[in-house]
Structures are given as structure tokens and as C-alpha cells.
A and B are shown apart, each in its own frame.
Chain A
Amino acid sequence: MEAVFSDFDEYLKAFGLTLLLFVVSGAASLVLGLFLAALRVGPVSIMRRAAALYVIMFRNTPLLMIFVFMMFAMPRLGVTFLFVEEVRIGDWNPSAFFTRASLALTLYTSAFVCEAFRSGINAVPLGQAEAARSIGLTFGQSMRLVVLPQAGRAVIPPLTSVQVALLKNTSVAAAFGMAEAAYYMRTSLNNHADQRPEIFLMIAIGYVVLVELVTLSSYALERRWKVA
């Protein structure tokens, strides 16, 4: 225990980075995933196919592979993302490593988010969309005003699972330059060979708490959006 409590600051910082990776790639994957889902159910055939191809590409490859591609192949192709280091947000600036890790997580998770949204949209009876179109709403309007609000409710549980998976998937970044929770765990394990079970326990507690926060807020959303 004392291994963790002696540098509790570092422990919190490590989980802070885990959380930051999760929030950034979680938000980005929701946006990209929703966009892809809209394409997949949309009326334009080429877009439907493009979105389907995206899902095939990124849902069917291991996350580790996407990370390896981002970290080792992209720099060889001249894409290093070093320009993001010029950006400053307050006294924090994103590093190229953070950008690449978030991008890998976003690309991967978006495929799952897309499919979760699609399942929600499919759960809305077709008549709803037809009725919306028949009163003269455009595709965009019928999505925004009729289908998505109903799909939104159905989609919360599967989306939560996808986001929880993302939160835990951030640990893959430990081997790609990110000093997040899993990195902290491996460093402490190496430095305190005599306190391994305690270190595992502390890291597990950290993840359980973070995941529980995500799950509880999803329950709260579910209750709020419930139709009486």
C-alpha cells in the first residue's frame, strides 16, 4: 500500500491522464460514430457503403494494431502530428503522443459507437421516419427531430458498454508513450517488487471507480430520458 500512498500525487496524475484520454476520445468517437451511423442509414448509397467499409476496417482490426500503425507507420509516412504541440490551451498543450493515442482510440471506438447508434435507429419503427418524411421534413430534419430522440433512449445501454470498453482500452496507450494508469502500475510494480498485490489492488480500485462513474451517469440519463 505504502508504495502507492507514498506517491499518491503520481497515482492521481496517472489516472488523470487516463480520464483525459477517455474524455477526449470518448467525445470524438461519439461525434464521429453518430456521423457514421447517419451515413449508414442515410439515403445515399455510396455514403452507406463508405461508412460500412469504415466499420469493417476498424471494428475488425485489433486496437493494438491501430496503435502500432499510428505510432510506427505514420511517422515513416511523414505524419507525426508534431504541429499540435504549438497549440496551447491554458498552461496545457497537447503532445503529439497524446494526439496519436486519442486518434487511435477514437478511430477504433467510432466503429462500435456507429453500430450502437445504428441498432438504436433501427429500433425506431420505420413508420416514424416515413411519417416524418411524408409531412415534408428533410432526411436531416426527420433524423434530428423524430428518429434520433427516440433512438437516443434505446442506445444508452449499448453506448455505455462501448464507452466503458474505451475507458479500459486507454491502458493500451501505456506501451505507446502515455504515462497513464497502466504505465504507473508497471512502473510501481518494477520499483516495489515486494508490494505487488497491493499495487494491483489500488490500480483496480482506480479503474472500478472511474467505470462506476460512467455507468452511474448513464443510469441517470436513462431515468431522465425515460418516457412515462
Chain B
Amino acid sequence: MRLIRTKAALATAALALTMAACGDAGDDGEAADTPEVEVEENAADEFDEGTRMRELAEAGSINIGVKFDQPGIGFKGATDDIPQGFDPEIGKILAADLGIAPDDITWTETISDNREPFLESGEVDLVIASYSITDERRAVVGQAGPYYETGQQLLVHADNDEIEGVEDIKGMEVCSVTGSTSLDNVKAEGAKPRGFDTYSECVDQVLDGTVDAMTTDGAILLGYAAENPDELKVVGDPFSTERYGVGYSPDAPEMCEWINEQLTEAFEDGSWEEAFEATLGLSDVETPETPELDPCQG
């Protein structure tokens, strides 16, 4: 009896060891540990009465809208508890200054269509969702930043030699997300736009050969190419400039200065760079120069 029990114990221990080994091996390839953020204590006292920052700091929780379907930028797999990516990392940095720990952040999925309505209705406090700064958007909501600059590129099947850049897409079928500016841009270049609901559906179309190319911001494409290097490649130079900003409610203009301050701090103390390397940097992109922030209006 005792012998059996010892054997069982040994077997369990051995199993535990092998499983631990598996776990370690798995971690290397996947999104590595995300950088820690330093959560501010007694943050509420630092802000003036009546500001949105003070309200949030006192409530001790914040609701941030991010993308759930862009690897490297903002991605939440079916089994993940929280989204991973550069945008959520920026969110954690901002929340930490309000004394809100990463665990107390509520992540809400925002898609391209609902970012302004979510900010206007107060459904989310901040939008950090590959949210390009434009004048039209600034007319209805606040956008601080940019915290990242990227450009639109093309993703094609690895054995496609016809498309080497934006000049080759005339008459080709190019997919992206329905309603996105990227699709509008390739349409202007003479391509046939093919809109889908999500980026992953669009990648499937490229893999199946039913469209010629996919287009969106280079950072997102690199994320997909890195997942499937044998079948996909990113081609051509960027042919647009997208400046990702942090969206905030139009009723809380005081947030702009605060966001810019926090971004400047993150640029300087290296936490921005760390966040980049732990997310987008994994797909072999060099960490870019920190972008220049727009001054806050009025």
C-alpha cells in the first residue's frame, strides 16, 4: 500500500515537473510578461475638485475602450481574461496615475464605429483603440496624443509576387474592416474595396486567396504576419500616416492636459518604450522615436 502511494506521489511530482517545463516553453513564444506599472497612492488628492480625473481616482475604477481583434495593438483571445497589446499598456500607465491598479480597470471592446458614441454617452472613460486623430473626430470628442505613429501597408500571401507596393493594387481586391479609413484610401488608389467585420476574417480571405491583399496600419499587419510567417508577408512602404490618440469625453476637456503630461512622463521614463517592446516590438519592429504631442486646444 505504502509503495503504491509513494509511486503515485512520484508520478504526480514528475507530471508536475513536466507540466511546469511545458509552461515555461510556452511562455517564450507567446506575449511575454507585460511591464509592471507603479500605481500612485492617494491619487485623488492630486487633482482639483470637480475634474474628471478626481472623480475617477475617487471611484477607484475606470472603463477603457480598446480593440479586441488587433494582435499587438489590442487583442483578446477567446480564453483571455484581459486584452493584450500596446493600447491596453498605455491604458494601464494612465490608470496607474489615478491610483487605479490594472486589475481595477474594466476593458470594453470598442469597434471603429462606436468609439465616439461610447465617449459621448459616458459608456467608457477613455478610448485607446488604434484611434487615429482627425479633425472630424476632434469636433465631437476629445483626442489627446498622439502616443504612436504608424502608416498603412499591405499584407499579401507569401507567394504573391504581383503586389510589391501600393502602386500595384489598381483593380485588385483589397480587404479591410468595413467603414475603415484604410479601405477608403486603397479605393482612392483604384483598388476594389472588400469590407469585413473583423481583421481576422480579412486575414482568412488573404489565406484562402479570395482577395489579393489586406490593408490597414502596418503595426497590425506585422502582428498577423508574425503569427503566420510562412504564408503571409507585409509589402511596400507605408502610404499614409496614422497618429493614434487617446479619446476622452467632450465634457471633460481638462483630461487633455493630464493625458499629455502622463504620455510625456512615459516617453521620458522609458515605460512607453517598455510597453512597446512587450507588445508591438515582438513582431521584429524597431522601437520608433516617440511622437510629438499635439498641444491641447483651448
Binary per-residue interface labels of chain B (174-197) against chain A in the complex, 1 for a CB within 8 Å, 0 otherwise:
010011110110010000111111
User: Closest B-chain residue to A173, C-beta based?
Assistant: B195
Binary per-residue interface labels of chain B (127-144) against chain A in the complex, 1 for a CB within 8 Å, 0 otherwise:
000000010110111000
Interface SS of chain A: helix, strand, loop or mixed?
Answer: helix
Question: A97 to chain B: which residues have CB within 8 Å?
Answer: 173, 194, 210
User: Closest A-chain residue to B192, C-beta based?
Assistant: A95
The number of chain B residues with a CB under 8 A from chain A is: 31
Give residues in B with beta carbon < 8 Å to A: 112-113, 116, 134, 136-137, 139-141, 173, 175, 178-181, 183-184, 187, 192-197, 201, 204-205, 208-211
User: Does A87 belong to the interface (CB within 8 Å)?
Assistant: no
Sorted nearest first, the 3 A-B pairs with minimum C-beta distance are: A186-B179, A177-B194, A75-B208
Nearest-Cβ distance from residue B121 to partner chain A, whole angstroms:
13
Can you name 18 extra interface pairs (CB under 8 A) apart from A82-B210, A177-B175, A193-B136?
Answer: A71-B201, A72-B204, A75-B205, A80-B209, A97-B173, A175-B196, A175-B197, A176-B196, A177-B173, A177-B196, A179-B187, A183-B195, A186-B179, A187-B180, A193-B140, A194-B136, A194-B139, A196-B116
For this complex, 23 residue pairs linking A to B, each with C-beta atoms less than 8 Å apart, are A71-B210, A72-B201, A75-B208, A75-B209, A75-B210, A76-B208, A80-B208, A80-B209, A82-B210, A97-B173, A97-B194, A175-B197, A177-B175, A177-B194, A177-B195, A178-B195, A183-B178, A186-B178, A186-B195, A187-B179, A187-B180, A192-B136, A193-B137
B196 touches A190 (CB 8 A): no
Q: Which of A75, A96, A177, A190 contacts B181 (CB 8 A)?
A: A190
Task: A106 to B208: give the CA distance in the assembly, Å.
Answer: 24
A174 touches B116 (CB 8 A): no
User: Closest A-chain residue to B198, C-beta based?
Assistant: A175
A76-B208, A175-B195, A186-B113 known; A191-B173 Cβ under 8 A: no
Task: A217 to B209: give the CA distance in the assembly, Å.
Answer: 42
Question: B192 to chain A: which residues have CB within 8 Å?
Answer: 95, 179
Task: A38 to B137: give the CA distance in the assembly, Å.
Answer: 55
B194 touches A193 (CB 8 A): no
